Amino acid sequence: MSFETKMQSLTKETEALLERYLPAEAGLQSKVMKAMNYSVRAGGKRLRPILMLLTYRMFGGDSEVIGPFMCAMEMIHTYSLVHDDLPAMDNDELRRGKPTTHVAYGEGIAILAGDALLNYSMETVVTAFSLAPQEVNRIAASIALLYRKSGIHGMIGGQTVDIETDLTGDVSREQIDFIYRLKTGALIEASMMIGAILAGASDEEVAIISEIAQKVGLAFQIRDDILDCTSTPEELGKPIGSDEKNQKATYVSFEGVKKSEEHIEALSKDAIEKLRSLQRESLLLEELIQSLIDRKK
């Protein structure tokens, strides 16, 4: 079976799981539920839950306990995109080739849909306790990690510095690294670490997974910077040139495309070497990491 076929199968598996947890569109508040489901169903690579699942399986995990975490992670990621696209943030009108949530449902409902997805992720993830009550410590540690990495010490912290530097127009390379490590890298790091923790990996193995994920997250965001100035809206599924339009400092604006590509290559090599050092069956995870770094959209 080819890598592409395997990934299509994993994507379908993840989306079927998501459908089990998405809210029913009923009641007087059904519009916000429709906006939530519209946002999640808009598509995408389902990168974070698939990274979580593959890491979990690499360490021998085979329980249903991973499911609520996969869905919660995708809900958190989707809420961040809904809010990122708002006029007060990046002001984008296209996401994954479709109108953004605030364009489709209005700004107020989009804000509430993002809030609701974050809240619903909490409702979803705690169902893991009933699926594997014997794994209470691993589940509790994973929940704490999930919300730390998505909060003020993770994604939201990175977004805060991103907004502040946009307002001042003054940003250093160190601040760019900080923003990327938290805004983009934190959820990728949490995904892989949670997969390892839930599968019973040792503290040393979880630490190595964290290092791998940090490198993957940084390379992923640098690739995003390159695509924003070299791709097309049709290929990327969202507007291009938004970084330049919003006068955002990026790796490309600091180093240019060529040096940014070299940095991606070095990060990719380091991540793959660390993954192989774990001496686990990790070929599919390795192929996924490489494809994300080399992607065209």
Domain coordinates in residue numbering, the chain: 3-293
Token pair, residue 92, equals 């984008």
Token pair, residue 283, equals 């070929």
What pLDDT does 249 receive?
72
Is residue 90 classed as helix, strand or coil in its secondary structure?
Answer: coil
What pLDDT does 96 receive?
81
What pLDDT does 44 receive?
85
Q: Which residues of the chain have pLDDT under 70?
A: 167-169, 231-248, 296-297
What pLDDT does 232 receive?
54
Alpha-carbon Rg for the chain, nearest whole angstrom, is 18
What pLDDT does 241 receive?
52
For residues 250 and 202, the answer to whether their CB atoms sit within 8 Å is no
What pLDDT does 247 receive?
57
What pLDDT does 246 receive?
54
What pLDDT does 168 receive?
66
Backbone angles phi, psi at 94, to 5 degrees: -135, 135
How far is residue 228 from each of residues 115, 176, 216, 244, measured CA to CA in Å? 27, 16, 18, 9
What pLDDT does 145 receive?
98
CATH topology of domain 3-293: Farnesyl Diphosphate Synthase (1.10.600)
Helix (H) or strand (E) holding 18: helix 3-21
Residue type, 34: K
Model's pTM, two decimal places? Answer: 0.91
Angle separating helix axes 283-293 and 203-230, nearest 10 degrees: 30
CA distance 121 to 147: 10
Q: Which CB contacts under 8 angstroms, 24+ apart, belong to 32-38?
A: 32/109, 32/112, 32/113, 32/116, 33/116, 34/105, 35/101, 35/104, 35/105, 35/109, 35/110, 35/112, 35/113, 36/113, 36/116, 36/117, 36/120, 38/101, 38/104, 38/105
